[in-house]
């Protein structure tokens, strides 16, 4: 049985796990890009709130509008921070999954490498045995020739 036939099952497992690792890597890239966008949005909202002018003078209606505006900025800042934190959680999970999938691929590759090494060692043992047999046969012929001659 050839090595290809012996490893057919593990090759199939490697192909499936490699596809899963590729999918998880793409998902991780998407999650990290989304995280960057959400963190930038949160930073912009925080900057808007920090740069909002303070109320100096005006009517009561202007003051109420100013307070309403600051409240909206504060709510926007809080909601963008929550969304950014949720994106971080998704990115962390995507990272964990990608690392797990990468490890799974590596395990199969190590099994295939170990099988190849075992086949190589077995082939070397068979060759050494054949060489020993040939050497023994040659020695026996020479010995028989010495005794006969």
Residue 86 CB-half CA count within 13 A:
7
**Number of separate domains in the chain:** 1
Indicate whether 36 belongs to any domain: yes
Instruction: Say if 79 falls within a structural domain.
Output: yes
**Domain for residue 58, yes or no?**
yes
Task: Answer whether residue 57 is part of any domain.
Answer: yes
What CA–CA distance (Å, rounded) separates 33 from 31?
A: 5
Note the pLDDT of residue 76.
96
Which domain, by its residues, includes 51? 3-124
Query: Position of tokens 């990272």?
Result: 95
Helices (H), the chain: 3-6, 8-51, 60-148
> Is the pLDDT reported for residue 136 higher than 90?
yes
Provide the whole-model pTM: 0.73
Give dist(CA 100, CA 79) in Å, integer: 32
Residues 26-85 pLDDT 10s: 999 999 999 999 999 999 999 999 999 998 888 999 999 999 999 999 999 999 999 999
**Residue at 129 is within a domain:** no
Q: Please give the Cα distance from 134 to 130 (Å, whole number).
A: 6
100, part of any domain: yes
Residue 133 lies in a domain: no
Q: What is the pLDDT of residue 103?
A: 97
Least Cα distance to 33 among 91, 92, 76 occurs for: 91
C-alpha distances (whole Å) from 91 to each of 9, 45, 95, 118, 121 are 33, 21, 6, 40, 44
Mean pLDDT taken over the chain: 94
Contact in structure between 81 and 42 (CB atoms under 8 Å): yes
What CATH code is carried by the domain that includes residue 26? 1.10.287
pLDDT band at 1 (very low <50, low <70, confident <90, very high): low
CA distance 32 to 28: 6
Over its C-alpha atoms, the chain yields an Rg (Å, rounded) of 36
Q: What is the pLDDT of residue 57?
A: 87
Q: Is residue 142 part of a domain?
A: no
């Amino acid at each position: 049985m050839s090595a290809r036939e012996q490893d057919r099952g593990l090759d199939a497992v490697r192909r499936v796990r490699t596809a899963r690792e590729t999918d998880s890597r793409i998902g991780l890239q998407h999650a990290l890009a989304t995280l960057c966008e959400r963190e930038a949005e949160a930073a912009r909202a925080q900057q808007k709130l920090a740069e909002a002018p303070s109320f100096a003078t005006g009517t009561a209606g202007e003051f109420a509008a100013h307070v309403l505006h600051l409240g909206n900025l504060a709510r926007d800042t809080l909601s963008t921070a929550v969304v950014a934190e949720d994106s971080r959680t998704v990115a962390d999970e995507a990272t964990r999954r990608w690392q797990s999938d990468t490890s799974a691929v590596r395990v199969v590759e190590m099994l295939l490498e170990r099988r190849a090494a075992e086949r190589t060692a077995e082939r070397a043992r068979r060759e050494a045995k054949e060489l020993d047999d040939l050497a023994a046969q040659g020695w026996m012929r020479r010995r028989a020739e010495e005794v006969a001659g």
